[in-house]
């Protein structure tokens, strides 16, 4: 299986709207591993490993996020997969 890693930083109204928990649910549905965490500046960081197709689907979902979110933008950086994650979770 071809696995890659994407680091996505999502800006907008993405904290306090269940963005991380909703991302965890979607990532697990897609079979993607990694994590989502809040950043001090109000953005959310998502580090995800999976197939390119699953990562594209997660990116598409992240463009909208949960109903209360208002996404302004997503920065994506592709990185080599590390294989360090066994599932997707929320980091606090």
List active site positions: 20, 38
Alpha-carbon gap, residue 1 to 13, rounded angstroms: 35
Contact between residue 4 and residue 56 where contact means Cβ atoms under 8 Å apart: no
Parallel, antiparallel, or unpaired: how do β-strands 88-91 and 33-38 relate? parallel
> Would you mind telling me the total number of residues written for the chain in this entry?
92
């Amino acid at each position: 299986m071809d696995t890659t890693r994407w680091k996505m930083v999502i800006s907008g109204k993405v904290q306090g709207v269940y963005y991380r928990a909703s991302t965890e649910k979607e990532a697990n549905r897609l079979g993607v591993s990694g994590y989502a965490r809040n950043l001090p500046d109000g953005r959310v960081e998502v580090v995800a490993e999976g197939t390119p197709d699953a990562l594209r689907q997660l990116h598409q979902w992240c463009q909208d996020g949960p109903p209360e979110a208002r996404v302004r933008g997503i920065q994506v950086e592709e990185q080599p997969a590390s294989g360090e994650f066994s599932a997707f979770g929320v980091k606090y």
